[in-house]
Chains A and B, each alone.
Chain A
Amino acid sequence: MKLIKTFAILIVIVAVFGGAMFALNFYTGPIIEANNAGAANARLDAVMPDGAKAYEDITATLTLPEKFVSPANDKRTAEIVAVHKETKNDFGYVVEVAWTSEDTHGSEPNLVLVGISTDGKIINVNNEGYHDTDAYNIFNKDPKYTSTFIGKDSALADVGTVSGSTHSSESFRSAVSFSFEVLVSNNMITAGVKSDAQILEELIPTVTKGYGKLAEATASGNIVKALKAENETGFAYIVTEGDASFLAIVNATGACAVYNVEGADVTADKAAIVTEAKAHAAANQTNYTQVLTDKLGKLMEGAASITNIEVKTFNTVASAVTFTAENTTYYAFLSRSIGWDSRVMNIYYIIDGNGAIVKTDADQYVFEEHDFKEYGGFLGLPENYREGFVGITGDTFTGNEVIISAATMSSNAIKAATEDIFAAFDSVKGGAQ
């Protein structure tokens, strides 16, 4: 009886307060819903102007472009995740792009939100979820980097990369650029017009390999912009001829290639540009022939008839020579490949006439350097590391032979160097020389 009376009283109390809250909910319910919607939209608001906003997810109504894969490196990708339209004030669109670089770890990509106005200009950019190497976090290295995108159209003119974090910042830039793709292809905004110089500059990573971050050098004559490779293995020039602009690449061995804005190789037709570019490079390029020759004397006894050769590849090869030893012709290459912490390694290779590596060495591999131990806890080379290269040819080289798990960045640089000298060797053997 007592129990029943107790429960009866409790039920009455629940009913009374339940009724009161039910009535109150008519008043507070809509306000709470609006607050919750606001909280969910906070991440979209971050890339939109101030003011009251409402969003509609229009992803399903659009034709999304194919996932972007960078020609410079297939680990650099960008993919459209969602597109939201701001409906209250017609501020524009928020595009969510998932992006990766060669330094992205784990299974989750990075995510960037790009706010784009209806006239095709960036309102703001905000990156959520960063999974690249933490030591090269572009947003820590340069907290103002995202602000360089504000106000730009799809051309992203004058938006550069973050020094010391080239991989991640180039991938991030590509992702932001790709965010325009879905809006342009669905005729929601007009694409920005890139200048010829910008198009040609964006061509550089596709026609060169391993140049690193380019630094601006003094231009002259018809050369309107001169860019020097970080590892000093070449120059890239934007050259004007009349109303047209061209890209001229000169490597450290003196070879030159010229491209037009369509990306076509027009070297044969642009002799004047080739001459001017080569002249500028010869005056400014560091000559590594002596460096290679000096090393050669230590690597192989009796090296004679050392002759400089010009290789027609535009990668990390800084010098190439032929020589004879014991009546056999060999080819020697110096590659300046960029490893951990943007450190350049001088790596030397001697290849026989059949394209097999006879010997290799480096002035100092990055992971032999004292302060690398502080970073990776790894010091020194595995046993017989250098000997492991002997006999490898361009056809048999897989790359796995050179990778060291505790020093992937630098050993990948060695892998790239090895690939580059094989490419250089092929260009020498397959060319006129």
Chain B
Amino acid sequence: MVMMLWLLILIPLLAAPFAWLGQQWSRSAPRMIALGALSVDVLLALFLWNHGDSVQASGHGSWLVESHISWIPRWGISLHLGLDGLSLILIVLTAFIGVIATIASWTEIRSRVGLFHCNVLLALGGVIGVFLAIDLFLFFFFWELMLVPMYLLIVIWGHAQRRDASFKFFLFTQAGSLVLLVAIVALALLHQQATGRPSFDYADLIGLTLTNEMARWLMVAFLIGFLVKLPAPPFHTWLPDTYTEAPTGATIILAGILAKTGAYGLLRFTIPLFPEAMSEISPIVMGLGVVGILYAALLACAQTDIKRLVAYSSISHMGFILIGAFAGTELALQGVVMQMVAHGLSTGGLFLLAGTLEERYQTREMGHMGGLWSVMPRLATMTLFFACASLGLPGLANFVGEFLVLFGSYATQPFMIILASLGMVMAAIYSLGMMQRTFFGRQQDTRPVPDLSNVAFGTVLVIAVLQIWLGLYPRVVLTTAQPVMEQLVQATVASANLIHSRSESLLSSHIVTSQGTIP
């Protein structure tokens, strides 16, 4: 079982050089290698999912499976991996979206096919590592590992403005990473101060008691690092440029998975490491989430470029994750997990379709489209489906995610939730506006273009079926995630109580000493 954990990461990483070399054998060899490696990863993760109960014994504490290998003991760094329900769900999603991204690039990527798939595999290996690593140093290693291949994917295979976009992407995420790194090192050093030896281990650091002041600063650093990735305003401006300029496959990975690493970081690190500071700051962060929902939705309504529209809608949906993560109730957290999966599927599908549209018409401007329903009925139908998912139609997975977040958070911040609900109206406006401008109305461009290919249609159909399945039977995801979320809430509640009792005892001891000092 422990071996499988490493296999999950190593399969894509080891397949990467082969994908590169494979180019010499045939044009489709890299594609087949990437597809094969990712499919094996999906199967492996699904196997772990199925046997989740039986492997429970092999892990310690809350982890289903855990692997601990010493690496640099002097600095308390080890190769420590842990798998629980949350990471399992996200790994399955990652590998699945990876498969979709590979299929989406099948016809789009024609030059340097090997290098492209090598980068895709490296990035995905990094992402899976991020979801598994519970040593903060190792985590950061994977965090950076996914970044560079992503940059290359954009700058080499992107569209016209790729240089600027990739620069912006790299600068933003790198700045966020830097802040994160400083905070991680600071945590390790604080551990040394407290116990005499530095440690980057999650289990060690989670028990570390920090002064309020320190915890607040470190919490903000962790928050910024992850908010850039999520993204939430005001750190979101890299996203629309990046998503529009990246090749379709990379956009699907970016929107479908990379954004989730930010959310995962919030759930895995920011909240459990600094529960007290978190409960202080949570109204502000939730407010940020609301602003994100409304502001991004407003901008989505203003876009004329179809990919930018989807990009802004994506930011808007991320606001729900931010709200739910900081609401502090189990229901909202469950909604966050659901929203992560649902959003990965729906934006993945939407970007695949928008990319196809761009490939066919060589433009993203919706003003040049219109009336395409009769030209490409398959594409139009599927876009309609995903537009519905995006506007939160009940019965589809996004609805479950968003509504669980809203239901779970209403008790905490009723007013904010009412504002966030307005996002639903705005989502209807931009989603339907997109449909109207591209597929309905009079036909602008009468060039004959092919409809969605069978392979692409099949892929999108699979995503659609998953959307419906998770929308009507979300228990698959929810029961897997529940123990983790339960623990998370308990930890925060316990620490909140701890603060309470501690401040009380502090108060009483203070009284005692003051009595003692005054004779």
The yes or no verdict on A and B being binding partners is no
Binding site for B on A (CB under 8 A): none
Binding site for A on B (CB under 8 A): none
